[in-house]
Amino acid sequence: MHFTFCPHCSSKLILKEIGDEGMIPFCDHCNIPLWDIVTPCIICAVVNEKREVALLRQSYVSTNSYVCVAGVMKLGESAEETACREVEEELGLKVEQLDFIRTYPYLKKEMLMIGYRATVQKKEMVLSDEVDRAQWFPFETALDQLRQGSIAWQLVKTVIEKDRL
């Protein structure tokens, strides 16, 4: 979120040089800088002991490609708690091990995606209402199901490459 007006007093912001950060929106009335805000989210490559990744379809995200489990962090929740909660909510699976992979800025939606490998036991998935369908894909074919270059594709590609080491 990029501020134009102060959320505290409604004054129009000016640009002010703040140290080595450059020109930042600033409220002269409240005497505070107002940094751009990004929404922290998680994205998980959910994998099992058979070298498969669970990918899902959500019509509100894409009707052409599969995606990874993802979700917004709730206030007071850690990224790790969010990742485990989202995997359980969307797929009905318990995370046994969670490994941080990297972060991905998603400028189009002003989000910072925090990427994880979530290891689970292969079981029948119990899908949430927001998931149209989900399926296990072998590592060898998983990338073909994702939109090339997408954050999900990048995450799954990294997880597969690290598995080879």
Supply the DSSP string of 108-148, one letter for each residue. Answer: GGTEEEEEEEEE---------TT-SEEEEEEHHHHGGGB-T
Residue 59: strand pairing partners = none
Q: State in Å, rounded, how far the first CA of the chain is from the last one.
A: 39
The predicted pLDDT at position 165 comes to: 63
3-state helix, strand, coil in the chain (%, to 5): 25, 35, 40
Residues in the chain predicted with pLDDT less than 50, given as ranges, are: none
- Distance (Å, whole) CA 92 – CA 55: 13
Residue 47: strand pairing partners = 53, 119
- Distance (Å, whole) CA 108 – CA 77: 24
CA distances for 114 relative to 50, 62, 122, 147, angstroms: 25, 20, 24, 19
Give me the residue label for tokens 């007006």: 5
Q: Name which of 94, 83, 60 is nearest 155 in CA terms.
A: 83
The predicted pLDDT at position 62 comes to: 72
Q: Name which of 101, 103, 123, 122 is nearest 113 in CA terms.
A: 103
Cβ atoms within 10 A of the Cβ of 68, count? 29
The predicted pLDDT at position 160 comes to: 96
